[in-house]
Homo-oligomer: A and B are copies of this chain.
Amino acid sequence: MTTTTYREAVHAGLREALQTNPHVFLMGEDVGRYGGAYACSRGLLEEFGPDRIRDTPLSESAFLGAGIGAALGGERPIVEIMTVNFSLLALDQIVNNAATLRHMSGGQLSVPLVVRMATGGGRQLAAQHSHTLEGWYAHIPGIKVLAPATVSDAKGMLLAALREPDPVFIFEYAGLYPTEGDLDETAGAVNITSAAVRRAGRDVTVITYGGSLPKAIAAAAELAGAGVEAEVIDLRVLRPLDDATLLESVRKTGRAVVIDEAWRTGSLAAEVSARIMEGAFSQLKAPVARVCSAEVPMPYAKHLEDAALPQIADIVAAVRHLMTAAGA
């Protein structure tokens, strides 16, 4: 075990993948000479050369689609879309080609493509650069969606994704890149089927993913001080969702709060909430609560952005409310 950053963990995953499989290559805007917008690929161009670390023009649709084509052609591409915000420009390729080619071709094709992108708000980047769209991706049949929230997932999910026969989308929370955690450097791919209980508790289940995990854990610590033991679940895999882990916890606690940095309406939190009701209705002591972002294009000013995003205090308040509520 060594202490490393989320950024370094991604870097280590990329490097290991490039070292082990000659068909792996990384392609995206500024992954090479610049070293990656978040420095995740710094030094890789020098080590692996321009054929395998490919700087692209600003053409999200074309290079994402080219990743699909290269995957069809026997390569193992990792496409980096600099941030989720720009992925809208490639969404047609994702929804209509990457996700559908296998089924639409009657099972003839597979698209072994890994797509990475940075996601999330909280850095005062304003309305066009602060999106959380993982929930949209989780809606699309034919792909898998991962959200690493720890350094070991940041590395291990990438390696696991590269073993999947179908497209996998990895959402790296930009605000986590500089954060530190423990990494077993010998560890390779991690499980990409289950959610993880990050903190055990008996009173309430707090469910989240990605950048909100540290907030949920901090909220749980605060609540523990007040005698409320929250079980914190990190979804990890946003598609397909691991219902079993969620339901097991909620059947025990009888209460759940879902934390999601997306706008509330139509968020992934809504899906999780609906599934919990569907699967644990009679054990629910109160309606599942959601702590999401305010429904506003993200403002630049820090106090406004803070007000728009889920905060630790909001999570604590939601749990406290749940603990007293007897239903709406």
Contact = CB atoms under 8 A, between A and B. Distances in A.
A314 B90 CA distance: 35
Nearest to A61: B89
Contact of A274 (B95, B139, B290): B290
B274 A270 contact: yes
5 contacts: A104-B126, A104-B297, A274-B288, A281-B327, A282-B327
B286 A281 contact: yes
A182 B284 CA distance: 45
Question: For A126, A241, A271, A282, which residue has the most chain B Cβ atoms within 10 angstroms?
Answer: A271
A100 interface: yes
A295 interface: yes
A90 to B, nearest CB: 9
A317 interface: no
A226 interface: no
A99 interface: yes
Contacts of A278: 273, 287-290, 328
Given A88-B91, A270-B271, A297-B100, A139 B128 contact: no
A134 to B, nearest CB: 10
Interface stretch (A40-48, A169-177, A228-236, A261-269): A261-269
Number of copies: 2
Contacts of A295: 141
A152 B172 CA distance: 46
Given A88-B91, A91-B88, A139-B265, A288 B297 contact: no
Contacts of A221: none
Given A96-B88, A326-B282, A328-B280, A265 B103 contact: no
Nearest to A285: B281
A85 to B, nearest CB: 7
A156 interface: no
A239 interface: yes
Q: Which of A88, A99, A282 has the most CB of B within 10 A?
A: A88
Contacts of A273: 270, 273-274, 277-278
What 4 pairs across the A-B complex have the smallest Cβ distances? A139-B266, A282-B327, A100-B297, A273-B274
Interface in A108-165: 126-128, 131, 135-136, 138-142
Contacts of A139: 135-136, 262-263, 265-267
A138 B266 contact: yes
